[in-house]
Structure 1
């Protein structure tokens, strides 16, 4: 079968001679129609980060990334009941394998869910990051009129904005921060009220001008109770990590910072505001099973438009170009159209 093979940082190729996997007991084999390139895949592509968790080895030794995909069930493993060959499904794997024609998926509500009618395979390949956004918003427990900042508006940060808007949460300002103008433009299109390009100057001053400031014995802050860090730490980018800026921005008391973005190694930041302001800092890793279903239902109902976030589509044969494109400033989400028929 055809499969992507991650070789080294900056080098990924397509192989046509990979062994088709066989589902183990409790698994199904999925014929993949579409697979997304995730931000974590880019961390690996840049500097080998998370390689042991993002690429599944074939018997030939090929390392196949891809953990967010959609397709049809091609085969049932021993003991699997309640599923049928040919069903349209979304799959999520913990260690890659989805950038290939076939991949095995355990049958459990965290990793396998049925696709509703009216949702394309290309859209469905973005289900997992949409569910990630739903979990982050749930954890933030946003209250009426609270201002919100979203650091990093790739597919995850944009999904956070879509989750807020689709659920009718009566937020105050929603400020998107990124260094790529194409992503900031898309954030405004889907529901952000304001954007800040971090390349243009002091982020604290820009956000404070939008949301106002707070001042007291705890110091000076922006009026931003809720911050989503969907950027993490990218080693080659200049300036303080977003988490440090988030700690400066977050409200003087009662603030919540939800961290999702990946970290390319250790980093040094000023942690003083943690003591001064007493914010709650929460990690967010994945989603609840019902949020996979909710993400698909939001797509089916037209409450979120995931197609608008897909900036580029490539066949598996062009896997190297697809990864290079996802690294470009004009790319929002790159999806691999594995069988070049993923519209149905």
Structure 2
């Protein structure tokens, strides 16, 4: 079989590997679609150790697959079914969460358990959309951490896949109005078509825009936008600064974007605003269930988020395309 191997910075090759062997407790899946994650891009340009993509490994973890072999001891799974390999458990080794083999033609799922290693994908979800399940679970987890309530209002910083997933999950949970802020007009146009308010914070003052969209309430040290929930899906210090200056009393900030440097926080503002800061890393099985509900509902045109498809042989071009935020949203490998 053919598989993309990560060899280091700007060094990815397509190698011919032996077909994986199916043990009595395993399944073998054939990948249908795999999407490119920001961690794949980071490994390609900056090195993979920090994102647990190691030299010499198959990689890719945002995938949907078809079962082609089933071990005799595996229960509840049949040949021909589509499955979502759950990255944290798919290889029975959590250190392999980013190196499952989404960019390989076939993958062994060892000691496979339905509802743990893999989840069945409903026919209502296209394979193109199903390849977005993993990033959608990350964004959904961030939204859930805010304990959103019907009628609340929210701002999401970042119009990448995780930010958009968080915004969609907030709407699914009943949040009345959501605005997404980003620097890319290309991406903001995408999310505007999904029904969200948008703000290009490079061209508009986000505090003024938020007050216009959501209204104002009394606050400290002056009036604030009437927003209950903020989600940082960027990982930039300016986002934290903006949030501190615009947030109202009793708000919550969920940080899912990765900050690579310490960020200054004015705890006087946090105290007087009675604010909460929550971290959100990864996802949990309950988030998979919520993402399935969202995708099966068909309320959002999620296929519109996939802007490019490539063959496996063109994996390098696919990764480089995915890095261009003014040209691409989600880029997928189609098998």
TM-score, structure 2 as length reference: 0.85
CA offset at residue 40 of structure 1? 2.5
Q: Please tell me whether residue 189 in structure 1 is matched to residue 193 in structure 2.
A: yes
Q: Please tell me whether residue 118 in structure 1 is matched to residue 124 in structure 2.
A: yes
Query: How has the CA–CA distance of structure 1 residues 80 and 303 changed in structure 2, closer, same or farther, with 3 Å as cutoff?
Result: same
Which residue in the other structure is 2:92 paired with? none
Tell which has more relative contact order, 1 or 2 (C-alpha 8 A, sep 6+): 1
CA offset at residue 220 of structure 1? 5.2
Which residue in the other structure is 1:280 paired with? 276
Which residue in the other structure is 2:59 paired with? 65
Which residue in the other structure is 1:156 paired with? 162
Contact kept, 8 Å, 1:2 with 1:14, in 2: the verdict is: no
Q: Please tell me whether residue 256 in structure 1 is matched to residue 252 in structure 2.
A: yes
CA distance in 2, matches of 1:151, 1:157: 7
What SS does structure 2 have at the residue aligned with 1:153?
A: coil
CA distance in 2, matches of 1:64, 1:71: 16
Question: Which residue, 232, 241, 244 being the options, matches 1:244?
Answer: 241
Which residue in the other structure is 2:13 paired with? 14
Which residue in the other structure is 2:207 paired with? 204
Question: Which residue, 52, 66, 84 being the options, matches 2:78?
Answer: 84
CA offset at residue 34 of structure 1? 0.7
CA distance in 2, matches of 1:324, 1:257: 32
- Cα deviation, 1:204-239, whole Å, max 9, x if unaligned, reads 333334334444456654322201111124xxxxxx
Contact kept, 8 Å, 2:86 with 2:119, in 1: the verdict is: no
Structure-to-structure mapping, 1:223-238, within 5 angstroms: 223-233=226-236
What SS does structure 1 have at the residue aligned with 2:202?
A: helix
Contact kept, 8 Å, 2:5 with 2:15, in 1: the verdict is: no
Give the gaps of 5 or more residues in structure 2: 88-96
CA distance in 2, matches of 1:52, 1:143: 33
Which residue in the other structure is 1:46 paired with? 45
Question: Which residue, 255, 263, 271 being the options, matches 1:268?
Answer: 263
Which residue in the other structure is 2:184 paired with? 180
CA distance in 2, matches of 1:144, 1:120: 29
Query: How has the CA–CA distance of structure 1 residues 245 and 109 changed in structure 2, closer, same or farther, with 3 Å as cutoff?
Result: farther
What SS does structure 2 have at the residue aligned with 1:210?
A: helix
Bigger drift between 105-114 and 16-25 goes to: 16-25
Query: How has the CA–CA distance of structure 1 residues 113 and 270 changed in structure 2, closer, same or farther, with 3 Å as cutoff?
Result: same
Bigger drift between 322-331 and 116-125 goes to: 116-125
CA offset at residue 323 of structure 1? 0.8
What SS does structure 1 have at the residue aligned with 2:300?
A: coil
Structure-to-structure mapping, 1:133-172, within 5 angstroms: 133-167=139-173, 169-171=174-176
Contact kept, 8 Å, 1:218 with 1:276, in 2: the verdict is: no
- Cα deviation, 1:175-194, whole Å, max 9, x if unaligned, reads 111111111111111121x2
CA offset at residue 14 of structure 1? 3.4
What SS does structure 2 have at the residue aligned with 1:190?
A: coil
TM-score, structure 1 as length reference: 0.83
Which residue in the other structure is 1:236 paired with? none
CA offset at residue 71 of structure 1? 1.0
Query: How has the CA–CA distance of structure 1 residues 126 and 79 changed in structure 2, closer, same or farther, with 3 Å as cutoff?
Result: same
CA distance in 2, matches of 1:37, 1:287: 18
- Cα deviation, 1:287-311, whole Å, max 9, x if unaligned, reads 3324323423432332332211111
